[in-house]
Amino acid sequence: MSDASGKPAPTLKLDSFLPYRLSVLSNAVSRKIADMYEREFEISIWQWRILAVLGESEGLTSTEVANRTLMDKPAVSRATATLLDRGLLSRTSDTSDRRKAALRLTKKGREIYNAILPRALAYEHDLLSSISAEEVATLHGLLTRLSHIASPDRDLWSE
C-alpha cells in the first residue's frame, strides 16, 4: 500500500531498515546461544569467543586474540583474567619479548570448549535448518560483501 500522490515523503519502516533488522537478529541469536553456555558453563560471550579462537589456534597473544575476535584490549584482558583464574587458560610469557605472552587452553579449558562447541554448532544448524545449502552460501556471500562495505576503516560520510 504505497502512497502514489505527489512526491512521497521518505519514510522509514523500521521493520525493513537493514541496520535495525541486523541488530535485532544478531541480538536474538547471540542471546540464545549465550543463554546456553552462561547457564551451563558460566562462560560469558567474550570468554567464549576467546575459548573459540584458542581452540582453533593455540598460543596466540592477547593482541592476536583481540584482532581475531574484534574485541578491544581491555575486554580481552578481563576475560582472560577470569579464564586464567578458573584454570581454563594458561599463559606463558615469551622469552625473547617479555611483553608478549602466549595463551592456550588447559586440559580443563579444552574440555569446556569441547562441550560447548557441538552445542553451538547445533544451534547454528537449527538456525539454518529452514534454509537450503545454496541459500546459506548466498547468505555468507552477502554478509561478506556487506561487511566489507561496513568495515570501520571505510568512511562513507565525510565528503
In the complex, the residues that contact DNA under the rule CB under 7 A are: 44-46, 61-64, 72-78, 80-81, 96-101
Task: Write down the residue that cell numbers 587452553 correspond to.
Answer: 105
Near its own copies in 40-69, by CB under 8 A? 49, 52-53, 55-56, 68-69
- The correct pick among 5, 16, 95, 96 for binding its own copies (CB under 8 A) is 16
Q: Which lies closer to DNA via its Cβ, residue 24 or residue 142?
A: 24
Q: Which is nearer to its own copies, 42 or 94 (CB)?
A: 42
Nearest approach, Cβ of residue 93 and its own copies (Å): 25
* Rounded Cα–Cα distance for residues 91 and 80 (Å): 9
Identity (one letter) of the amino acid at 68?
R
| Contact residues for 87 (Cβ-Cβ < 8 A; gap 6+) | 106, 108, 109
Cell numbers for 102, please give them: 602466549
Q: How far is CA 109 from the centre of its chain?
A: 19
Q: Is residue 15 within 8 Å of residue 21, measured between CB atoms?
A: yes
Residues that bind its own copies in the complex, under the rule CB under 8 A: 10-14, 16-33, 35-36, 49, 52-53, 55-56, 68-70, 117-118, 120-121, 123-124, 126-131, 135, 138-140, 142-143, 145-152, 156-157
